[in-house]
Amino acid sequence: MGSNDGPDDEKPKHAVFVKSFLMDILSVSNADFAKFLNIQGLQNSRGESFYDDQDSDARIHRHHSAWQADLAYELHPVNEVSWVGARDYCTWLNKRLPTEAEWEKAARGTDGRKYPWGNATPTAKLALFGAPYNSSAPVDAFPGGASPYGILDMAGNQWEWVSSIYQPYPYKVDDGRENLNAGPIRSTRGGGHDSNSEEISASHRGKFLSRH
């Protein structure tokens, strides 16, 4: 996990044992998350917000009495979701967010590759990156960019939340970084549509506030 050649927060490269786990092949789409909002609303019982529906970048809006993905964006990855929204969406499905170590294992396999598809330089056939602001593509648009385990869209398109608090490496599952209470800055992974080729590497780490 990590890299000795990238930014300081990726250092040091280190071995982490990850127990067996399952991960969805496709990222959560706008249509998926709209179903959740229609049942759960915009906040949980603690008043923590799931989704910033007021942001101009949002691709889900209320039409009459129901939340719906914007036309032609149904299968694009959902954006403007808070970490709390991601956590609670997974719980609603009897699932959970991956830890940062699990996400990187799913993206890199066991051979230490730089990108989910290997070490080849990224191209427009493998991932959406270096694109104009607020661009997106369907979650299944890049089969050639699949990870060693067949998971799609782990590079570019939309940053992905993981469960882990953003803390220095080495990664240790029992050092408090997997506390699931809202508040701390959380790690994000995979890069986004406007990221450069280094930001969509499988070891690159982003970070963002865990709630709006």
pLDDT tens digit string along 109-120?
999 999 999 999
Domain residue limits, the chain: 30-92
Residue in 45, 42, 173, 24 with CA at minimum distance from that of residue 90:
24
Residue 63 has what pLDDT? 92
Residue 36 is which amino acid? F
169: Cβ–Cβ under 8 A, 6 or more apart, which residues? 1, 2, 9, 10, 11, 12, 14
Angstrom distance (rounded) from CA 170 to CA 18: 14
Query: In this structure, what token pair is assigned to residue 146?
Result: 């699949």
Spatial contact of 84 and 44, defined as CB atoms under 8 Å apart:
yes
pLDDT (tens digit per residue) in 36-76: 999 999 999 999 999 998 899 999 999 999 999 999 999 99
Residue 210 has what pLDDT? 73
The angle, 0 to 180 degrees and rounded to 10, between the axes of the packed helices 30-40 and 83-92 is 80
Q: Residue 35 — very low, low, confident or very high, per pLDDT cuts 50/70/90?
A: very high
Spatial contact of 169 and 12, defined as CB atoms under 8 Å apart:
yes
pLDDT at 1 over 60: yes
CA 19 from chain center: how many Å? 20
Average per-residue pLDDT in the chain? 96
Say what percent of the chain tops pLDDT 90.
96
Q: How many residues make up the chain in this entry? A: 212
Angstrom distance (rounded) from CA 14 to CA 169: 8
Q: Residue 79 — very low, low, confident or very high, per pLDDT cuts 50/70/90?
A: very high
Helices H, strands E: what count in the chain? 3, 5
Angstrom distance (rounded) from CA 60 to CA 51: 9
Residue in 166, 168, 167, 164 with CA at minimum distance from that of residue 12:
168
Burial class (CB in 10 A: 0-12, 13-18, 19+), 53: middle
- State the Rg of the chain over Cα: 17
111-116 long-range CB contacts below 8 Å, 24 or more apart?
111/148, 113/148, 113/202, 114/201, 114/202, 114/203, 115/145, 115/155, 115/200, 115/201, 115/202, 116/145, 116/146, 116/147, 116/148, 116/151, 116/154, 116/155, 116/202
Angstrom distance (rounded) from CA 159 to CA 79: 8
